Amino acid sequence: MYPVIIALDPPPGKGWEWAFDIASKLKGKVKAFKVGWPLLLEGNRVEELKEYGPVIADLKLADIGATMIKVVKRVEADAFIAHAFVGYEGALKELREELEGKKLYLVASMSHPGSVHFIDKHWREFLLLAYLVADGLVAPATRTSVLREIRKYWSKEIISPGIGAQGARPCEALRAGADYEIVGRSVTLSEDPAKTLEEMYSCLKG
Ligand code: BMP
């Protein structure tokens, strides 16, 4: 199994059948499948997707606890991603209690350039909160200096987007301290997702 989470974000005109097709080709080869709004707006078939592997619902939750709870009750995922900036009381505390055995990831820093001026200024505060509620953090493969710094202070799981389509090279985040790399378009839009994954992660040997 590759230390990879596949982001199943369909291109325009595609939906769940597209996702099931890719998931069936990658079943047993990857850690999990990540689904977000692009797929969920085509309907909620998360339960069926779980036949191919664990599912992370990347809803980037950022609301009061009561509203986030209403949302997560409707999605049968194994894990959820939320934003940290909403804080603890009345928000992430309630969400954590609701999720019980399910995993919760918080966003520490993002892969796009604009993250530097906003989210990145706060990851140290987010980390304190994350130790109270989270099982893992999202941190960028595109800025490994940030990722390395976060790894110094965070001993639990780190999942890292930005590989391929956003410019980071396969294995770059793993070498900087991530546990899993999140890969979307480079694999899902390729002719042969399983072969592409194998080629990309030949870096694990070197
Ligand atoms: P891609 O490899 O196609 O760029 O996909 C990356 C995935 O990770 C997308 O689903 C995106 O929404 C998500 N993501 C990201 O790219 N950067 C972040 O900082 C956080 C994310 O969840």
Q: Select which of 25, 29, 50, 60 is catalytic.
A: 60
Question: Could you tell me which of 95, 71, 100 has the C-alpha nearest to residue 84?
Answer: 95
ipTM: 0.99
User: Structural domain of residue 164, as residue ranges?
Assistant: 2-204
End-to-end CA distance of the chain: 17
Tell me the CATH number at 174: 3.20.20.70
Number of domains in the chain: 1
To the query of whether residue 60 is one of the catalytic residues in this protein, the response is: yes
- The angle at the Cα of 137, spanning 47 to 133, to the nearest 5 degrees, equals 80
Q: Supply the DSSP string of 37-94, one letter for each residue.
A: HHHHTT---HHHHTTSS-EEEEEEE-S-HHHHHHHHHT---SEEEEESTT-IIIIIHH
Q: Ligand 1 pocket: which of 40, 118, 182 to mutate (most atoms <8 Å of CB)?
A: 182
pLDDT (tens digit per residue) in 125-178: 999 999 999 999 999 999 999 999 999 999 999 999 999 999 999 999 999 999
